[in-house]
Amino acid sequence: MKTKLTIFVLMLLALSSCSKSFKQIDVKTLKDNPVSLFADDWMVVTAGTSTDYNLMTISWGALGNLWGYPTATIYVRDSRNTFTYMNRERYFTLCAFGEECRDKLKVIGSKSGRDIDKVKATGLTPLYTDLGNVYYKEARLVLECEKVYFDDFAPNNFLDPAVVKIYNNEPSLHRVFVGKILNVWVK
């Protein structure tokens, strides 16, 4: 009985978080801790158009200030399907979700868009910004970014042996993408 009640309350919470509408905020008023946002909550990066896009979970990233504007920096391995989209597209979005979506983020971070339709598999609801970029109704935070820089990690420049080990275990390298943060929406 207690389990049924807990499930019911969790479903209600999930539904209420989905039904809230987004409001636009100034990035400087963002309440989230930028380290926890990536390391603990995880984010979903999406690049592409309404008819052809790809999404994946990321936990490496940074929010900051560069060249006079707010930026989001993310790291995408060249083996990911998302890599193709990140290179091709001018924009990308970063979405954060509540704990109730953790299982969806696990699917999005373990399956490839080459093999399955991850939006269908997770039941996420795609929405589109005025610029045509994809985000999700179930998100609690959305950053819309314009790609302004990319570069590949140079293996000779790794100074931490623990990092060298990461790339020895999985040789495909990360490309760094810096996005200018254009819009921020929260619920």
Ligand X SMILES: Cc1cc2nc3c(=O)[nH]c(=O)nc-3n(C[C@H](O)[C@H](O)[C@H](O)COP(=O)(O)O)c2cc1C
Among 16, 33, 65, 110, binds ligand X (CB under 6 A): 110
Select from 87, 90, 104 the least CA-distant residue to 42.
Answer: 104
Site for ligand X in 19-58 (CB under 6 A): 42, 54, 56-58
Nearer to ligand X, 22 or 84 (CB): 84
Among 111, 137, 147, 187, binds ligand X (CB under 6 A): 111
Residue 74 Cβ vs ligand X, minimum distance, rounded to whole Å: 7
By the 8 A CB rule, do 167 and 58 touch?
no
Ramachandran category for residue 52: left, alpha or beta (phi over 0 → left; psi -120 to 50 → alpha) = beta
Site for ligand X in 117-176 (CB under 6 A): 174
Site for ligand X in 67-96 (CB under 6 A): 75-77, 80-82
Amino acid occupying residue 51: T
Does 6 bind ligand X (CB under 6 A)? Our answer is no
Select from 115, 104, 122 the least CA-distant residue to 81.
Answer: 115
What is the number of the residue whose Cβ is closest to ligand X?
109
Residue 85 Cβ vs ligand X, minimum distance, rounded to whole Å: 8
Select from 177, 107, 105, 181 the least CA-distant residue to 145.
Answer: 181
Structure tokens at 150: 């990319």
Considering CB under 6 A, how many residues would be counted as binding ligand X? Answer: 21
Alpha carbons 141 and 23: distance in angstroms, whole number: 10
Strand-pairing partners, residue 49, are 52
Among 6, 33, 36, 112, binds ligand X (CB under 6 A): 112
Does 187 bind ligand X (CB under 6 A)? Our answer is no
Residue 36 Cβ vs ligand X, minimum distance, rounded to whole Å: 13
Three-state SS at 49:
strand
Residues lying near ligand X in the complex (CB under 6 A) are found at: 42, 54, 56-60, 75-77, 80-82, 106, 109-114, 174
